[in-house]
């Protein structure tokens, strides 16, 4: 249930950001920072740990937030939440494939 509420809150935050037409205010920064934290907590496994894919996406979310790219930040936090919901076989495949693509195009 927490994940559904977070998906809705993220969509609402996108709507709020769109309504401000690119103007960043402290309220929006705080809203997005709070959602990143909530996504991190919700994405944790039963051992209160994050998988590598979630850590990468949440790191991107925080970097984008610090740079003022709030929509990108929300997208990365949302992705962290979504990948945490994947079955293990799909997670492993997606993580391995994305790592391969990063390495392939890093040169």
> What local confidence, expressed as pLDDT, does residue 1 receive?
54
Count the domains in the chain: 1
Measured in Å, how far apart are the chain's first and last C-alpha atoms? 42
- Tell me: pLDDT of 19 over 80: yes
Averaged pLDDT score across all residues of the chain: 92
Q: pLDDT tens digits, residue range 33-78?
A: 999 999 999 999 888 899 999 999 999 999 999 999 999 999 999 9
How far apart CA 48 and CA 85 sit, in angstroms, is 15
> What local confidence, expressed as pLDDT, does residue 23 receive?
78
Q: List the domain range (segments joined by +) for residue 83.
A: 2-105
- Contact by Cβ (8 Å): 14, 53: no
Q: How far is CA 104 from the centre of its chain?
A: 23
């Amino acid at each position: 249930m927490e994940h559904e509420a977070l998906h809705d809150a993220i969509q609402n935050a996108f709507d709020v950001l769109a309504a401000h037409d690119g103007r960043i205010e402290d309220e929006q920064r705080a809203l997005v920072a709070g959602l990143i934290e909530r996504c991190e907590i919700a994405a944790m496994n039963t051992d209160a740990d994050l998988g590598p894919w979630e850590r990468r996406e949440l790191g991107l979310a925080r970097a984008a937030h610090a740079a003022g790219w709030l929509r990108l930040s929300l997208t990365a936090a949302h992705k962290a939440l979504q990948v945490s919901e994947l079955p293990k076989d799909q997670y492993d495949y997606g993580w391995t494939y994305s790592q391969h693509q990063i390495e392939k195009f890093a040169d």
